[in-house]
Amino acid sequence: MAHEHDTQAVERVYRPSPGLAVAVDDPVQNPGLPPHRERVTDKDPQANRRAVRTVYTLFYVSVAASIWAVAAYMLFPIEGEYATMGNIRNNNLFIGLGIAFALLAIGIGAIHWSKSLMSDKEHVEARHSTRGSEPTRAAVIQAFATANEESGFGRRKMIRNSLFAALVASVIPGITLFRNLAPNDGNDPVQLLNETMWAKGERLVLDPEGTPVKAADVTIGSAFHIIPESLAGLSHDEGYLEEKAKAIVLLVRLLPEQLKETEERKTWSYDGIVAYSKVCTHVGCPVALYEQQTHHLLCPCHQSQFDVTEHAKVVFGPAARPLPQLPITVDAEGYLVAKDGFSEPVGPSFWERH
Amino acid sequence: MAREKKRRSHGRRSPLAAAALIGIGLVLSGGIYAGASAAVAATSEPTAADTALTAEDGQKLFQANCATCHGLDLQGTDDGPSLYGVGALAVEFQVSTGRMPLQMQGPQAEQKPVQFTEEQILAMADYVQSVAPGPDLPSDHILDGEGDLARGAELFRINCAMCHNVAAAGGALTQGKWAPDIQDTSALHIYAAMVTGPQNMPVFNNMNLTPEDKRDIISALLYQQEEQAPGGFNIGSLGPVAEGFFVWIFGIGGLVAITVWITAKSN
Ligand code: FES
């Protein structure tokens, strides 16, 4: 009876598979080339003729497009009375299209030619091994040794070392030139980054006109873009842009009770009017998207938000510090003036400001 | 073999055909959309002309449509601000851009189809102006678009471009608010926005931007609205993000298609 047989016969003979379904000696076997398949153009003479026609038509299209590009240059003048935006656009567009089609047609034609008409028989070119043969290697080593001996490179230490010195020295002028790209007009760059044109008594004037602003002009809900008065008089050569980049200020007015001011900064605002640097403390974009109802300032670059009611503290985003506040007051004539310069450097962190 | 024969009998449709079709479809629908939105944008523009309706009619319209939120006497309620001193200009702007009556509370009032005729709007504006005056409609001189374009563009870049985009294409603000595009806003509404500071937009009073400044800014914007973009398709004038997307999808997509074609076997 079956159950009287050896019940563990299976366990005795069974050998589990090591995990591979197929034993492979060489894991990367050469599959060889697939059989050559004839193309339509090989079998059908009509298709062949059509392909030939397509290719030469493309090349002639290219010729025509090149001629068209030259014609477009003359047909769409952009000088004198024709110098309008629309004409410049047409001129660029049609010359560009001509050149683009000229080059594209050559490319498409060439590829179509090679794909449909040139022989497409594939063959294998075996790769030779990269290691040179023993004699070659010996010869190269020999060549180096001879060269060393004949030139005296290893022997004449003076010459060799002076050559090294010359090579190192040749880089130095480059370093000097690049070093000079840093601000170097006798001023310490740290100093330049620390200071703006704002100083005690400097009037707040409108950007770019230079009109001074009276406290009464700044109505609730308005936003004034402000520069220091002495900046408005600078010319481009006198560093107008460099100074402006640091000195731009936004002036807004809130109800005095909306401002949550700290004790020591109570005197920095004037009757609800506050002035903050417009240079973002993240990487220095101009922060000027002022929402007059939420009193938030938004930086367009990386969405830092500053709360104007609380000394421009950061309420969102990557900026690390509040925007620096410019202390302001009014002068005898009622114009807004700075009480002092900024008490801290404006703008992003730099190597001596974190 | 059978499969090959079947394909051949269907004609030689290259796999590129599908890609080309999709490309053509996208370009076409984009073009149609751009054309259609330009056509829709061409709307009429109200003027400061005398109206046949009086301030009394305006009062009735106001009480029927606005008083629930703004109060029977413009005093405001829990649902809406008081309208003392907002003036005729603000009423004209808010109602004839469709922002008011407000459809629903949200981050900001949306523009929607205008609910009243021009005459009704001016009547309501007259009424509000008569109760508690504020900024009124400007003279035609300010809206004539004949100001100094270069100066206007500079003032625009200093005062407006950070929110409205340098090409006036608009931009995002915080928490779902946005600065609308002003690429087809009328001269009157540009002026009204500067003077009344709707919603989160700051007010630009006459000491900040003088009436001549405003005229220059309006002129520069009107010029931009009419002038063709010198670079051809401006892709919404939204800047590097939109342009980058375009190049990634169409530029690199085109390169991929060409590469596929080059390496595909000829049949
Ligand atoms: S520069 Fe302002 S958030 Fe980055």
pLDDT in tens, B30-48: 666 665 555 554 444 444 4
- At residue B51, does pLDDT exceed 70? no
Domain borders along chain A are 40-117, 137-180, 197-338
Query: What ipTM was assigned to the predicted interfaces of this complex?
Result: 0.70
pLDDT tens sequence across A286-343: 998 999 889 999 998 899 999 999 999 999 999 999 999 999 999 999 999 999 999 9
Q: Which residue in A61, A68, A71 sits closest to A106, CA to CA? A: A61
The reply to whether B55-131 and B140-226 are identical in fold is yes
Q: What is the pLDDT of residue B42?
A: 47
d(C-alpha B81, C-alpha B55), whole Å: 21
Residue of A248, A276, A277, A282 to mutate, ligand 1, most atoms within 8 A of C-beta: A282
Shortest Cα–Cα distance, B177 to chain A (Å): 10
Out of A25-29, A99-103, A145-149, B203-207, pick the least confident: A25-29
**Is A219 touching B (CB cutoff 8 A)?**
yes
- Regarding the domain with residue range A197-338, which homologous superfamily does it belong to in the CATH classification? Rieske [2Fe-2S] iron-sulphur domain (2.102.10.10)
Q: Which residue has the tokens 């417009």?
A: A278
Give percent of chain A above pLDDT 90: 60
CATH annotation of B140-226: 1.10.760.10
pLDDT tens sequence across A118-143: 988 888 888 888 888 899 999 999 99
pLDDT band of residue B111 (cuts 50, 70, 90) is confident
CB contacts < 8 Å between A and B, how many? 86
CATH of B55-131, one of 1.10.760.10, 3.40.1190.20, 3.50.50.60, 1.10.10.60: 1.10.760.10
Q: Which atom of ligand 1 is nearest to the CA of A303?
A: 3
User: Mutation test of the interface with chain A: which of B210, B260, B266, choosing the one with the most A Cβ atoms within 10 A?
Assistant: B266
Q: Which two tokens stand for residue A21?
A: 């379904």
Highest mean pLDDT among A19-33, A292-306, B9-23, B234-248 belongs to A292-306
Q: Which residue in B95, B114, B119 sits closest to B192, CA to CA? A: B95
Q: What is chain A's alpha carbon radius of gyration, rounded to the nearest angstrom?
A: 39
pLDDT tens sequence across A225-257: 999 999 988 998 888 998 999 999 999 999 988
CA dist list (Å): B43 to B37, B141, B224, B228: 11, 21, 17, 20
Domain borders along chain B are 55-131, 140-226
d(C-alpha A88, C-alpha A217), whole Å: 44
